[in-house]
Homo-oligomer: A and B are copies of this chain.
Amino acid sequence: MTKTILVVEDEKDILNLIEWHLRAEEYSVLKAKDGIKGLNLAVEQLPDLIILDLMLPGMDGLQICKALKKNQKTENIPVVMLTAKGEEVDRIVGLELGADDYMVKPFSPRELTLRVRAILKRFDNKSEAPEAVKLKYKDLLIDMDSYRVWIQEKEIALTVTEFKLLQELLQNKGRVRTRDQLLDRVWGYQFDGYARTVDTHIRRLRQKIGEEYADAIETVRGIGYRFKE
């Protein structure tokens, strides 16, 4: 679970400094001193994050970034761009080309590690979502990307609430979700409505998906609902 970070930087001292601080934070570090090597390493090792100097021999940071974002394998790896003071004009360009953050040299080690941690956390969450974009139960298929549902190839029109409810139940197939849990996760914790609201939506959902699948949403009396395993 320890994260790997690729650092592409031609100035040896800075490279080592960064490496040292990242290792202190228990990250695994890969190093490259020019753009070509950096790009190759990135594709081979698929690190969890890439720190990229803007000015590089061989192939500069912008080009590498562009290349990374074009490659399906690497397009989702977050990139932090390092720029020297005075290169500020290029900031926007760098971000537009797909970099996810930047830092202006000189930066403090503390700033670096905080930034890295923050970005990794952000992308962790991101990558959790796309994990399962599609859920299935028998011939019922739901696509979390497009918020659509099919039963035997035929699309079923669900409202957003119904969709989320179905998704939440299906995602936890076999586990009972209490009404409170469902309210929290489908409606959001800021909603303070009645638990009966859940019932009503369960009812509508069941109606729309037809008897066979309606029965798959089991009522656990006194607790809540559960999608049949």
Contacts and interface: CB of A to CB of B under 8 A. Distances in A.
Contacts of A96: 114, 117-118
Contacts of A115: 189
Interface in A120-168: 121, 145-147, 159-161
A43 interface: no
A175 B146 contact: yes
B114 A145 contact: no
A13 interface: no
B117 A222 contact: no
B147 A220 contact: yes
A184 interface: yes
Interface in A179-229: 184, 189-190, 192, 220-223, 226, 229
A187 to B, nearest CB: 12
A67 interface: no
A92 interface: yes
Interface of A: 92-93, 96, 111, 114-115, 117-118, 121, 145-147, 159-161, 174-176, 184, 189-190, 192, 220-223, 226, 229
